[in-house]
Amino acid sequence: MNGSSFRGVMVYSENPSLLLELLAAGRGLADKLGAPLSAVLIGGEVGGERREEAIRHGADRVYVLENPRLADFNVETYKAALLRVVEAEPPEVLLIGGTKRGKELAPRVAAALETGCMTDCISLEVDEEGRLVGRRLTYGGSTVAEEVCLRKPQMATIPPRVYERPEPAERRGEVVALEVEVPEPRVRVVERKEKRRAGFRIEDAPVIVAGGRGIKKREDLKLLEELAEVLGARVGCTRPLAADYHWLEEWIGLSGHKVKPDLYIACGISGTIQHVAGIRDAKVIVAINSDEEAPIFNIADYGIVGDLYKVVPALTKALKEKLGK
């Protein structure tokens, strides 16, 4: 497929809520390109309300592919369905929701179309030449790469919660039903089971108090625990404290847990890019460090230059008074 027959922006996700987020991303790109935005719905049966929902959230056109063999997600049958739409109406840009299923579907579709796909884009835009430019994390999350897709359709996956779901509005849109031949799936699902949740995960903690090499000995973690208790927080640490000293079992960072709390308090943490890769999604970062040159201050919202052995207990006390605990 080549030439100038590619037109418009097309979005697909098997996850209904992520599809709406993709419509937000797609709307911006389509307006920039002066081209229509279409959404793809695939399933055994696709209810009328989902078609309406896609239109209200920004789609100019909705492609519907229904087939009993498409009742459950299967990468080969869904690939066939998506290729059917792309062949019917080749888009310039094809965005796929970056769930795990979306990320096994997108490269398979890209391979069939002999095009490129940028995985997990955290932003997408159209440059002056009309090319799709994406920014995505690389090197375990310690760097951001800016990439451009040079073949069409230009493909990208977008993880959940990068774009906000657009406000619904009364709009007009067209619904196009397409017939598709679906192959017999070769991979058969034998069993589906709910995930066993292994207790409380630090990824889910709303507040985290973390220590780095500024903590001199294991017993001193008590200072962090006391602060954590007032805040209803979890205690975490950097790699050396866990991997080298074995003071705690797990660490936060590139090779450990990636967290996204509302509040992250870094105590005696210098802020290597490996550690920062694990906390970049925190809402507010506080750094307490005696070294005013420490890189952690460059990525913190609030910094206190001072001895953590004095500042942390003072903070615990101040919070106790303020929060009445």
Partner 1 sequence: MVNVIVLIKDIVDLTEIKVDPRTQRPILAGLPRKISDVDKRAVEAAVQLKEKHGGKVAVLSLGDDKTRTALREALAMGCDEAYLLKDPAFEGSDTLATSRILAAAIRKIGEYDLILCGEMTLDSLSAQVGPRVAELLGLPQLTYVRSLDLKEGRVVAERDLEEEDEVVEAPMPAVVTVVREINEPRIPSLMSIMRASRKKIEEWDREALGLSEGEVGSAGSAVEILEVRAPKMERKKMIIEAETPEEAAERLVEKLMEEGVLR
Residues 90-109 that bind partner 1 (CB under 8 A): 99-101, 103-108
Q: Is 26 helix (H, G, I), strand (E, B) or coil?
A: helix
Start-to-end C-alpha separation, the chain: 66
List, in order, residues 6 or more apart from 293 with CB less than 8 Å away. none
304 forms part of the interface with partner 1 (CB under 8 A)? yes
Contact residue for partner 1 among 151, 165, 213, 260 (CB under 8 A): 151
List, in order, residues 6 or more apart from 100 with CB less than 8 Å away. none
298 forms part of the interface with partner 1 (CB under 8 A)? yes
Task: List C-alpha distances in Å: 224 to 75, 79, 88, 93, 289.
Answer: 47, 50, 60, 49, 14
Least distance to partner 1 from the beta carbon of 118, Å?
6
Residue 115 · residue 153 · CB < 8 Å? yes
Contact residue for partner 1 among 144, 176, 177, 204 (CB under 8 A): 144
166 forms part of the interface with partner 1 (CB under 8 A)? no
Least distance to partner 1 from the beta carbon of 75, Å?
6
Contact residue for partner 1 among 75, 162, 175, 178 (CB under 8 A): 75
Beta bridge partners of 43: 66
2-21 footprint of partner 1 as x/- string (CB under 8 A): --------------------
Angle at 38 between CA 32 and CA 40, to 5 degrees: 145
Least distance to partner 1 from the beta carbon of 302, Å?
5
Residue 127 in tokens: 């440059």
175 forms part of the interface with partner 1 (CB under 8 A)? no
Q: Which residues inside 211-250 make contact with partner 1, applying CB under 8 A?
A: 231-232, 239
Contact residue for partner 1 among 115, 121, 241, 259 (CB under 8 A): 115
Residue 71 in tokens: 């009742």
172 forms part of the interface with partner 1 (CB under 8 A)? no
